[in-house]
Structure 1
Amino acid sequence: MIRTILIDDEPRGLSALSSMLQAYCPELEIIAACSEVTDAKEKTKTLDPQLVFLDISLRDKTGFDLLAELDPVNFEIIFVTAHNQYTLRAFQYSATDYLLKPIDEDLLVKAVKRAVKRIEASASNNVSTLLYNLNRLHAQKEMKLCVPSLKGFDVIDIQDILYCEAGGVYTNIHFANRAQICSSKGLSEYEKLLTDSGFVRPHNSFLVNLLHIKQYIKGEGGSLILSNNKEIVVSRRRKESIIKSMKEIYKF
């Protein structure tokens, strides 16, 4: 069953759509029907829908305004509206479909089938991604890294690295269980070596081990709190890729 939320500021519209879906689309489970924007925002955030039917013209906002507040959007969207001037903008949000009121039964069924197909394909990809990332993190626990320094070199376990910090042409490597090391290689070199081993670069000056991130704090770019309570700022332009990497690993 596909977890589905209906959002329309007209109760009659909600009732009509719900009845049609129950009659023609038994693969959908309607987990919420919302006529208020505040309620819709809360339910969409907490109930983890896979599919949302969204009216574009709401009372005090548009459906696009709601989506902007929910960013990132992790569900398929079927827009429903009495107006067709929003078509282009709807598909800029990668909508599965766009239905005009009054809703045609055949078009509704076709739209739902397309949405279900996309959801199932996404679920398959998510499983593959999860298995890949689990294997990658497992491999990290077995990998070692040779770090050149001014005195010679150190052989370290990758999993023990908290983060790497740029220090001019050098890199300071910080650990969970030992003193930091100053490497004679630059941070860009470590980014090439460690990106495929579960490290992300939230800022030009830092490279962070995903295994040691315990919290993300929202903000313009936000910040990461590591397992040793170190806070590292995320640059605005890297925010999206950092959150994506965390979601791929931890599936939140």
Structure 2
Amino acid sequence: MITTILVDDELRLLSSLSNMIELYCPQLTVTAMCDNPATAIDKIKTMQPGLVFLDISLPGKTAFDLLREIGDINFAIIFVTAHNNYMEQAFKFSAIDYLLKPVDEEDLVKAVHRAVKRVEEQSFRNSMASLLHNMQKHSIDGDPKLCIPILNGFEMISVSEIVFCEADGAYTNFHLTSGKKLCASRPLLDYELLLQDKMFTRIHKSYLINTRYIKKYIKGEGGTVVMNNGSEISVSRRKKELFLEMIRENFHH
């Protein structure tokens, strides 16, 4: 459940929006309804919501003034307004969506779906950052350890052992320097976000490689990377420039 705060100076609209959310958006739980900027700022700061529905025209100030006053915006925003002339400014604040009053049920559901996805992604990034911190904390001689969830438990490996990771549906296969292959019960995207600052790069939708173990690059439409364990991995066309740029930035080339 995503904690949600509603901000609108019209009590009738607050009540209506709250009822619609209860009926059509089970992913959300409304923890506060605010009809003035001061109360909204206080509730947002103390309750730390994941999502805020925010009316643009508020007594004495706009929603944009309110957001500037809060400063650190670590929640998703759906603007609600009776006018559509604020759209450009709204999206400068990374709004999820922009709903016109009276709020349409279908538009609300679509906006909430996008908001839930954004909040979940941010939550995942935060958990990955925490995990990365723990990796560094438990590193040995500067070599972080990674806990790999496997079907019957978990296995600890050093990041330096990983030659490349290969997507296998919702699973990830780790190819190690020892020649061993481990199957982790998490998708490749999880490890891309976790390892991207550790000299790993995604060169294909199915492959994340440790650039330290590149032996050779063969030019082509996307090209082919030969790893030092003999594996040949295709580079996708759309990943080629990013891959080559990373090589230029991190190695003498």
**Aligned residue for 1:62?**
62
Cα drift, residue 115 of structure 1: 0.3
Q: Distance in 2 between matches of 1:62 and 1:134?
A: 41
In structure 2, the CA distance between the partners of 1:48 and 1:140, relative to structure 1 (3 Å rule), is farther
Instruction: Tell me the SS of whatever aligns to 2:126.
Output: helix
Give the number of aligned pairs: 144
Cα drift, residue 119 of structure 1: 0.7
Q: 5+ unaligned residues in a row in structure 2: which ranges? A: 144-196, 198-253
Q: Distance in 2 between matches of 1:24 and 1:135?
A: 41
Pairing of 1:104-119 with structure 2 (within 5 A): 104-119=104-119
Pairing of 1:10-29 with structure 2 (within 5 A): 10-29=10-29
The amino acid of 2:17's aligned partner reads L
How large is the RMSD of aligned CA atoms in angstroms? 1.8
Instruction: Tell me the SS of whatever aligns to 1:14.
Output: helix
Q: Distance in 2 between matches of 1:142 and 1:128?
A: 19
Q: Distance in 2 between matches of 1:69 and 1:140?
A: 44
Cα drift, residue 13 of structure 1: 1.2
Cα drift, residue 141 of structure 1: 9.8
TM, length-normalised to structure 1: 0.55
**Aligned residue for 2:52?**
52
Would you say the 8 A contact 2:80–2:101 is kept in 1?
Answer: yes
Q: 5+ unaligned residues in a row in structure 1: which ranges? A: 144-195, 197-252
The amino acid of 1:25's aligned partner reads C
**Aligned residue for 1:248?**
none
The amino acid of 1:125's aligned partner reads R
Cα drift, residue 140 of structure 1: 9.1
Cα drift, residue 142 of structure 1: 7.6
Cα drift, residue 133 of structure 1: 1.5
Would you say the 8 A contact 2:136–2:142 is kept in 1?
Answer: no
Residue 32 in 1 paired to residue 32 in 2? yes
Instruction: Tell me the SS of whatever aligns to 2:103.
Output: coil
The amino acid of 1:74's aligned partner reads N
Q: Distance in 1 between matches of 2:38 and 2:56?
A: 15
Q: Distance in 1 between matches of 2:60 and 2:131?
A: 43
Instruction: Tell me the SS of whatever aligns to 1:33.
Output: strand
The amino acid of 1:126's aligned partner reads N
